[in-house]
Structures are given as structure tokens and as C-alpha cells.
Amino acid sequence: MAILLLLNQVDPTLLEKHLKALPDCPQVRIWPNAGEKNDIKCAIVWKHDEGVLNDFPNLKLIASYGAGVENILSDPALPENVPITRFVDDTLSSQMAEYVLAAILNHRLHITHYRELQAATVWNSGEFLKGKNVTILGMGELGAVTGKSLVQNGYIVSGWSRSQKQIESIKSYYGDDQLRLSVSDADYIVCLLPLTPATTGILNKELFSHAKKGAHVINVGRGDHLNEEDLLDALYNQQISSATLDVYSTEPLPSDHPFWKHPKIHMTPHIASATDKEQVARQILENYNRVLNDMPLNNQVDPEKAY
């Protein structure tokens, strides 16, 4: 029996080390050195090559290395009836909450602007921006923790999700009908949705037209949530004042992409919240043992909902 690591854009060696340090860990193999295919019971995947998961006839578990699973579910040759799990972790959630708070503070307090003034030896003080209304699209594991942290920091927070939420001090909007309303009063629109057919391109011209003029957009979900042309237009006509982007349709972002040099876009390279390799190793080994013993899995993905 063996676990196979199929990780693109992630160095598999540290995860291998953490897995092997755990008691009762089976053999760990690293793609493309899968060895005897019949041995593979569990595949840990991140941006795997399409079709490859079909090569393992005894596969019992597909475990996502990260929280998002769109790359797994979009594989047209995904083996049927193999459960999929994803990474859910307190540290992942609290890092995301910190990132979003930092993005808002950077904007409200003009931190980047003062750095530029410093570089130009210019003393020119201004006031903090006043707006403190934040709407979070996606109130799941990351959105809920981010929202609570913003409330603790004095922000007026609302969230939008599929189902209604009861979270203290956070107004809940839900369902397609309430999407426009959810952004209408927001100074900050934060996208923390999973990428699914229903949420692809959700940050678009139509939504921006219902936002408060001058709102700041923070996209930490996936690049394909954002219609890039619509953002550039909305920045140009000042419907959206500025944006903080951590995720992009193409990663790494091509060097000639207009976002790089845009004065109203603050970019980070998909670092808002990173998987802790020790934790993910523990969680996956736990689920591996559960699947072999016909026990319910932790953090299982619902393929119907696509997240």
C-alpha cells in the first residue's frame, strides 16, 4: 500500500518528510515515480495533470493539498466514486484573516502611498479613509474567520453565501437574489468563494455596477472569479477605486500583464494563506486510515456542490 504525491508548483519533499515522520505511514511515492500502480490507495494532489488519476485501479482517496478543489473537479477523466477531501485548518483561516485585514489597513491608512512618498522625500500627510463596511463573498471556513476578525477590529461586516448564516455581528445575505444587495453598501468587497461554475466570473461589470462607487475589491479566492477586463474598466471609470489581488487566471502572472504596472492594483503572488505541510500530512493520514476502515471522512468535498 502506498500514498502518491502528485504536486505541481509545490515541492513534494517536505510533505514527504512530514508524512514519513507519522506513525504507521505507508510508503510514500512521488509522481512520476509511482512504482506498482496497484499499490496506490491515496493520491495527494495539487494542480495534477489531467487524466493521471485514472491510472490507479485501487485508489480509495483523492486528498487535495489545499483548500480549493477546482483543479481536481475540472479533470474530465476524474475516477468515479473515489471520495475527495480538502484542507481545512485553523492556521489557514487565521492567516487569511490577517491578510485581508492587512489589505484593508494598507488601503485605509495609505501605507503603500507613504512608502512611495518616502522614496521621493516628500512630507505630505492625509487622513485615513473613513469607510469601514466590508462584505465577504463566501462565508465558509475562511470567510467566517475573516469576518469575525474584522468585527473584532471595528469593521461593519456582512457576508454572502448560499445558505443563511447566524454569526454574531455579521449580517447574512444569501442566495443569488441577495448578491447585489450584499455589495451595495460595502467599502471593501472580499472574494473568498470557491471556484465553481456558479461563481466563475462573479466579480464582473454587472456586480461592480451595484457596488458603492469607489469600493475596493480584494480577491483572495481564485483568479477566475474576476473578469479582468471588467476590473480594468471599473478602475478607469472609478466605479471601483482600487484592488488588492492575490490570485490570477494565469499563475505566475505573465510579465506583460497590465496588472503588474497598474497604479490602483496592489498585487501579491498567491500567498494570502499557505498550507502547513505538517498539518496537511496529519489530516491526510487520518483520512487515509478512515477510508481503509470504512469510517466517515473529515472535510469531504461534495461533488454536486463543487466545493
Whether 143 and 159 have beta carbons less than 8 Å apart is answered as: yes
Q: For residues 141-180, which are near ligand OXD according to CB under 6 A?
A: none
Q: How far is the CB of 64 from ligand OXD (least distance, A)?
A: 8
Q: How far is the CB of 228 from ligand OXD (least distance, A)?
A: 18
Of the two residues 133 and 172, which places its CB atom closer to ligand NDP in the complex? 172
Q: Exactly one of 182, 275, 283, 287 binds ligand OXD (CB under 6 A); which one? A: 275
Of the two residues 218 and 291, which places its CB atom closer to ligand NDP in the complex? 218
Q: Is 270 a catalytic residue?
A: yes
Q: Is 222 a catalytic residue?
A: yes
Q: How far is the CB of 274 from ligand OXD (least distance, A)?
A: 6
Phi and psi at 162, nearest 5°, equal -75, -45
Q: How far is the CB of 275 from ligand OXD (least distance, A)?
A: 6
Choosing from 107, 216, 266, 270, the catalytic residue is 270
Q: Which stretch binds ligand OXD (CB under 6 A): 66-74, 157-165, 234-242, 256-264?
A: 66-74
Active site residues: 222, 270
**Which positions lie near ligand OXD, rule CB under 6 A?**
66-68, 87, 275
